[in-house]
């Protein structure tokens, strides 16, 4: 039996209203959140083969984002940071959203990342991460409504929790584009 501890929740924004999301961490918010800034921007800079998973209940205004590193948890006895793994993050994030007011049937997904930042024949981590998160979301019957995955470049992502917009830019680009 695997024991899962849910370490890694980020609860505070910086003085500019931004939350930086490290690998294996996640963020949740709704109108009852105790943040000084009730609508922070959640960001990941240098997203390569990792996946940024965003789940949103647009009706109840509840959302969350996780920073996934690997496709599978590999059956460890204790998992401290389930959001490092695609096979655990989607389910865990969905349950956390429901606890703070989301309704399961309303939850939709946006995924970003999964690139092959090193153009090597044996570098499939980004592809494996993208495939794994899509499989997990399908199992949970969560529709993917936005996606920016693949390619050979890293990305930056900013998720604005005020209007649920997602802005992405490739490493070589100067400006973010809304997806």
Least confident of 2-6, 60-64, 104-108: 2-6
Residue whose entry in the numeric block shows the structure tokens 């005020």: 162
Residue positions counted in the chain = 179
- Do residues 143 and 108 touch, judged by C-beta distance below 8 A? yes
| CB crowding 148-164: b at 16 or more within 10 Å, else e | bbeeeebbbbbbbbeeb
pLDDT at 44: 94
- Strand duo 78-79 + 62-68: pairing: unpaired
Contact indicator for 25, 9 with CB cutoff of 8 Å: yes
Q: Say what the pTM is.
A: 0.90
Structural domains of the chain ordered from first start? 3-178 (3.30.1330.200)
pLDDT band at 119 (very low <50, low <70, confident <90, very high): low
Q: What is the pLDDT of residue 1?
A: 43
């Amino acid at each position: 039996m695997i024991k899962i501890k849910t370490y890694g929740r980020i609860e505070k924004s910086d003085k500019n209203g931004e939350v930086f999301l490290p690998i294996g961490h996640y963020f949740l918010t709704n109108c009852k959140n105790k943040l000084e800034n009730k609508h922070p921007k959640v960001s990941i800079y240098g997203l390569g083969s990792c996946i940024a998973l965003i789940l949103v209940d647009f009706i109840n205004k509840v959302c969350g984002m996780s920073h996934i590193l690997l496709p599978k948890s590999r059956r460890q006895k204790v998992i401290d940071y389930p959001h490092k793994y695609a096979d655990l993050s989607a389910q865990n994030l969905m349950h956390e959203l429901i606890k703070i007011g989301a309704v399961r049937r309303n939850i939709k997904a946006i995924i970003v990342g999964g690139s092959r930042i090193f153009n090597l024949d044996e570098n499939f981590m980004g592809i494996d991460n993208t495939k794994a998160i899509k499989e997990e979301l399908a199992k949970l019957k969560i529709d993917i409504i936005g996606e920016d995955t693949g390619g050979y470049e890293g990305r930056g992502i900013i998720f604005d929790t005020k209007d649920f917009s997602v802005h992405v830019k490739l490493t070589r680009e100067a400006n973010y584009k809304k997806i």
